Amino acid sequence: MGEISERAAVRRLHDRLGFGLGPGDAEAGYDVAVRRLLGVAGEGAPPPALTAPAPVEKPAKGQKRDKEARKAANKARVAQEAKVTGWWLDRMVASGGAVGGPAGAATERLTWFWHGHFATSEQKVRSPQLMLAQNQTFRKFARGSFTELARAMVVDAAMIRWLDGNDNREGSPNENLAREFLELFTLGIGHYAETDVFEGARALTGWTIRRTSTQARFVPARHDSAPKTMLGKTGNFDAKGFVDLALAKPESAPFVIERLWFRLVSATPPPAATMDRLVAAYGVRRDVGAVLKAITAEPAFRDSGSTLVKQPVEWVVGLMRALGVQPAKLDDKSRMKVLAGLRGMGQLPLRPPSVGGWPSGGSWLTTSAGVTRLQLALLLARNAELGQLQKSSARVDGVRALLGVDQWSTRTRDALAGVTEPAQMVAVAACAPEYVVSG
């Protein structure tokens, strides 16, 4: 393996820390691109206004549930979920533009990363309002202190509903949230004991959620205030104490950093010397932004062998950015087709398949997903302005430049040469390995 060119490194930087190149991004040098991406982000588009559907009253004894009322409430919830998902996709596509600035792209990409790390699904939460509030929390702490993010997540209303925290009370601790927090969010398997899970659940007792609020509340009467012994310490620990004990374990920093590395750099874990440098950058503040900057300085980040298959959301957002297609400007039918396409490829925002998040790598390259990918690429291409390809005498190179691909393989070039209609050419190119894989 060897080091990729400066231009290829800039493209990779925008692929991994953002959602692909924006106008003028390819012309900047690598160091300039790093500074822009990891600078201060603008606000971006505000969140959508959501109105909680009226709750369906529990029927009196002997009465049947009002099926029509339940159906209407469910329809309203589904519409609100689509509204939140569409808004988020729109932010992803617009990130890096005039409103959020280049750093907005990195913030949005890390918001997406944390959604997969602290995976929470609307399928069980059944509240777009709670999912939106969680999304805003991810964004607030996206590139800041992991300590602050972890503390916020352990008492997040959507997370509490997703992992049964509402059932966690003194005398009857529910272990789901404590277990997943240790295993999937902060430490990893083998770095805690079953006693730590039980005692952690006791520390998390007392937090509940109400239908009328997007914030969890602490009810002292439900909290177990007796001393607890976990992760080698004894004390009257609460939710904050539980988080701090987990993050203080020496295994926590490498665990979190390796998760970032796995999604942003390579499926091959960083060497020990690299991990030492990244842990030093992470520091006592557990600074995610500092780790990202340190990652971009590592030779592995510019190694030609550090390739990653784009997840469906990364692929479709990057394609819309390249084509200048903004989701909010599509007609209702096309917007719904975009969501259906993401669902067909197996990755719809707000709907991770489990608390472990989405898979990675070649698992996205199935035959059925490939068909859906081609159909979605064609839909987006037909909503784009492709006049430059109509007039170009070198369309194959024109579509390469449009999508920000360094070069085509002979096989891909031959396939594209046989396509004359611009939208079809863009669709075929967007499904080529050179675009689907972030090289």
pLDDT level of residue 66 (50, 70, 90 thresholds): confident
What is the Cα–Cα distance from 37 to 14, expressed in whole angstroms? 8
pLDDT single digits (tens) 169-208? 999 999 999 999 999 999 999 999 999 999 999 999 999 9
Helix (H, G, I), strand (E, B) or coil at 426: helix
pLDDT level of residue 64 (50, 70, 90 thresholds): low
Considering just the CA atoms, what is the radius of gyration of the chain in Å? 23
The domain ranges of the chain are: 6-60+67-141, 308-438
Alpha helices, H only, 303-432: 312-323, 332-345, 367-381, 387-391, 395-403, 410-417, 422-430
Q: pLDDT over 90 for what percent of the chain? A: 81
Inform me whether the pLDDT recorded for 98 exceeds 90. Answer: no
Please state the separation of Cα 354 from the chain's center in Å. Answer: 14
Inform me whether the pLDDT recorded for 100 exceeds 60. Answer: no
Tokens standing for residue 98? 């005039």
pLDDT level of residue 58 (50, 70, 90 thresholds): low
How high is the pLDDT of residue 18? 94
> How many angstroms separate the Cα of 366 from the Cα of each of 92, 312, 333, 369, 375?
25, 12, 26, 5, 14
Calculate helix-pair angle for 288-296, 102-117, nearest 10 degrees.
Answer: 110
Inform me whether the pLDDT recorded for 25 exceeds 60. Answer: yes
What is the Cα–Cα distance from 105 to 109, expressed in whole angstroms? 6
Inform me whether the pLDDT recorded for 56 exceeds 50. Answer: no
What's this model's pTM, rounded to 2 decimal places?
0.94
pLDDT single digits (tens) 317-366? 999 999 999 999 999 999 999 999 999 999 999 999 999 999 988 889 99
